[in-house]
Structure 1
Amino acid sequence: MPPMGEWQEVECPARLDLSGGWSDTPPIAFKHGGVVVNVAVKVDGKRPIGAKVRRIPEPHLLLVSTSGEPDCSISTETICEDLTDLEDYCQPHAPGALLKAVCVCSDLVCLSSPLSLKDQLLKRWGGGLELRSWSTLPHGSGLGTSSILAGAALAAVYRSTGRSYNTTSLIHDVLYLEQILTTGGGWQDQVGGLFGGVKVARSAAQLPLRVEVEQLSLSQDFMSVLQQHLLLVYTGKTRLARNLLQDVVRSWYARLPSIVQNTEQLVINAEECAEACRQGSLSRLSLCMDRYWQQKKLMAPGCEPVAVRMMMNKLQPLILGQSLAGAGGGGFLFLLTRDPQQKERVRDVLSKIQGIGSFSVHSVELDMDGISIIQKSSEHPD
């Protein structure tokens, strides 16, 4: 294990899902197989998601979650001194629930052990742990924040306790964590933020589920063009991803023909999207993006708020393709523009629309590294 007090810090990009989302979601993925194309991105030049962990002499768990931009961030601090303090890890809205789930999923502590939390921590790790996580993205962004955050926190815990892992193992750890957290969801978010660049990820129609990631080898010219034509618009609308997920799974279990057929089309479109990226074709990529948005709306009716439809209609002359990120319902809208460097023009168009509320426009930069280890330090956090 690293020395007491030495931070193990990791940071991650966000992800944009270009095609195939929902096909990666259990139980759909078990039956049909899943294929997703997504890309790791920095938002306004920064990796927005991270976590750091250190061992501390006090035999307790100090969990701190911070969200929002630094000048207006909100932090939640939770101290766990007894095993009962961790028992609400399966209630997503409980204080520190995600970090509590990280502690359980990573086998940092065992809730069924006859030993107390204090004794477990002293016996196994020589003291307690301090876990800090952060995201500068708005809540419900659609950019895969919670899954990527879980992956970052797990990696930092493993490093601080002297255990090994690889990126593929983190993907499956996060999938398990989200099941015990009861938020559910698929595997594509963590693939998007833990692996860098543009990639196609697949899981065969089988159990146990195994995700395999193919990082697409793209020309420097295409990556440069893609970066210049991608933009993010925060719609200011609250997403209800968990509700959408439950509705989609119910519809799939009901074997509605439209849902079953659409699930198969999601996989086909994702493979076409991967080929468009390999060929460096923005026009083919935009067709796949638009088709993907129609597929999302069929999977989850109601995922397109009225204000978002107004935005998309007004932006149509400027763009090749567009889609709400993630499950839809709000969060970030991502655009593939006809011309490069359209940030100011997009902002100008949106500012003239009546009744859409607050919004913001953000630049996108492809992140080729994915999850990254930050230089260790022993200093106290700010």
Structure 2
Amino acid sequence: MIIRSKAPLRLGLAGGGSDVSPYSDIYGGLILNATINLYTYCTIEETNDGLISIDSDDAHCHESYPVLSSLEIDGKANLIKGVYNRVVKEFGIVPCSFKITTYNDAPVGSGLGTSSAMVVCILKAFIEWKSLPLGDYETSRLAYEIERKDLELSGGKQDQYAAAFGGFNYMEFLQNDLVIVNPLKIKRWIVDELEASMVLYFTNVSRSSAAIIDQQKKNTSSGNQTAIEAMHRIKQSAIDMKLALLKGDMKELARILGEAWENKKKMADAITNPMIQEVFDVAIPAGALAGKVSGAGGGGFVMLMVEPTRKKEVINALGKLDGFVMPFQFTEGGAHGWKIYPSDRV
């Protein structure tokens, strides 16, 4: 039997960073995000060779291990091993031999929540394989615990919930890791207009978000008022942008995006750099209205709001830089898995 799963990546539209502890624990966080048609993928194949084989291009791991109840977290495919170790321990799964293959539509470190989406995707494959009793909330929470607590990887909480639920979501992050996901029903013409008004540009530089997130956490813990006040305004931008989005007010949405970017840059020194600034210096004169880096910052993807009639001008201007424009569409569905039986295969 073969089990496959996929989970969508997301664009963080507003509120990014307010889902990171300790800020979310002290003040509460608000996030507006939306999933797009870029995905993480996982395949599990049952085998009888007595090995657990990992084939992961994104983790640069092509290794086989003895069938054990726990695999060593050694820097090789830690996300896969973390999920495996947790589900075996928590659900009493009897270890057996299998091959697991994973890959991404976007580079790791792109700012689209790739790592968290991959954890959700792998977990969804195990849920499908072993019929684990987990809904979207439980899947998101377990993925968060695996990534942030078991593997001790820095980051927030939004990415796991975005990947599991899919679509446009307004999320609330409260004390004790309580998360409330409010799906938004956006009219089709608004989604079409938003797609027509956005350019997603990859800087061609992947980055680790850990250092930036750690500085944000330190700023909150130490009571850095400049950073905390900036995060308050970023959180407010999620409220404001939700209203603009529901009304289809793209000019207001662009204004909020630009203002949020200015506040985001106050959260940590490494959020922007000359390379990112060059993207804005090229795009704004060509017709971009505003933009911000998706994710923690420092590289990855830049989201730009543009006047639709000048979208081609912006794309052509960005073509002079080292990165590339990534076509995309917004999607509604979250992570899902399915089984392939021998009789189903062509």
Alpha-carbon distance in 1 for matches of 2:324, 2:335: 26
Answer whether contact 2:233 2:260 (CA < 8 A) is retained: no
* Alpha-carbon distance in structure 2 between the residues aligned to 1:145 and 1:350: 24
* 1:309 partnered with 2:300: no
CA contact (8 A) 1:10 1:152 kept: yes
1:95 paired to 2:76:
yes
Asked if the contact 1:54/1:160 (under 8 Å) is kept, the reply is no
1:23 aligned residue: 18
Structure 2 CA distance, aligned partners of 1:331 and 1:291?
20
TM-score (norm 2): 0.91
Identity %: 21
Question: Following TM superposition, by how much is the alpha carbon of 1:374 offset from its aligned partner in structure 2, in angstroms?
Answer: 4.6
CA contact (8 A) 1:230 1:364 kept: no
Q: Is the 8 A contact 2:291 2:303 kept in 1?
A: yes
Cα separation, partners in 2 of 1:378 and 1:312, compared to 1, 3 Å = farther
Say if 2:43 is the partner of 1:79. Answer: no
d(CA) in 2 for partners of 1:139, 1:133:
12
Q: CA contact under 8 A between 2:289 and 2:307: conserved in structure 1?
A: yes
Alpha-carbon distance in structure 1 between the residues aligned to 2:132 and 2:168: 29
- Report the 3-state secondary structure (helix = DSSP H, G, I; strand = E; otherwise coil) of the residue aligned with 1:87: coil
Cα deviation, residue 28, structure 1: 1.7
Structure 1 pair 376–341 and aligned structure 2 pair: CA distance change class (3 A): farther
Q: 1:164 & 1:202 partners in 2: Cα distance?
A: 24
State the Cα distance separating 1:199 from its structure 2 match: 1.2
1:8 matched to 2:3? The reply is yes
1:282–1:77 distance in 2 versus 1, CA, 3 Å: same
Aligned twin of 2:51: 60
What residue is the counterpart of 1:331 in the other structure? 300
Distance 1:105 1:184, change over 3 A: farther
Contact 1:16–1:192 (8 Å) recurs in 2: no
Q: Is the 8 A contact 1:23 1:266 kept in 2?
A: yes
- CA drift at 1:85: 7.3
1:100 match: secondary structure: helix
AA partner of residue 169 (structure 1): E
After the TM superposition, list the runs of 4 or more consecutive aligned residues in structure 1 that deviate by more than 6 angstroms.
none
Q: 1:372, CA displacement in angstroms?
A: 3.1
* Cross-structure match for 1:3: none
**C-alpha deviations, 1:335-361, integer Å up to 9, x for none?**
12111582x433321244xxx5x2111
Secondary structure of 1:163's counterpart equals: coil
CA RMSD of aligned residues (A): 2.3
For residues 152-301 of structure 1, the aligned pairs below 5 Å read 152-179=121-148, 180-204=150-174, 206-207=175-176, 209-301=177-269
Distance 1:341 1:58, change over 3 A: farther
Q: What residue in structure 1 maps to residue 327 of structure 2?
A: 363
CA offset at residue 32 of structure 1? 1.2
Letter paired with 1:87: E
Between the two proteins, the alignment pairs up a number of residues equal to 342
1:41 shift after superposition: 0.6
Distance 2:113 2:169 in 1: 15
Question: CA separation in 2, counterparts of 1:38 and 1:52?
Answer: 27
Q: Deviation of residue 83 (structure 1)?
A: 4.8
Query: 2:89 & 2:52 partners in 1: Cα distance?
Result: 10
Q: Distance in 2 between matches of 1:199 and 1:245?
A: 22
For structure 1, list consecutive stretches of 5 or more residues without a partner in the other structure: 1-5, 68-73, 111-119
For residues 95-120 of structure 1, the C-alpha deviation after alignment (integer angstroms, 9 at most, x for no partner) is 111101111222x258xxxxxxxxx8
**CA–CA distance in 1 between the matches of 2:31 and 2:324?**
27
